[in-house]
Amino acid sequence: MDPIAAKDAIEQFRAKPDADADLSTRIAVFTAVFAFAASFSGLMSNRCTTRGMIAKNEAVLAQAEISDQWAYYQSRNIRIEIAELVGKQTPARLLKVEKMTRERDEISQRARVKEKERDSLNEKSTRYLELSKLFASALVLLQVAVLLVPLTLIVKKMPLLQFGCLIGVVGIGYLFFAYVRYFQAI
pLDDT digits (tens, 9 = 90+) for 130-156: 999 999 999 999 999 999 999 998 998
pLDDT of the residue at 89: 79
pTM reported for the whole predicted model: 0.75
* Cβ neighbourhood burial of 175 (10 Å; 0-12, 13-18, 19+): buried
Using the predicted structure, report yes or no on whether residue 15 has a pLDDT greater than 60.
Answer: no
Q: How confident is the model at residue 1 (pLDDT cuts 50, 70, 90)?
A: low
pLDDT of the residue at 166: 96
Q: Provide, rounded to the nearest whole percent, the portion of the chain with pLDDT above 90.
A: 67
Residue 6 amino acid letter = A
Please give the span between the terminal C-alpha atoms of the chain, in angstroms, as a whole number. 71
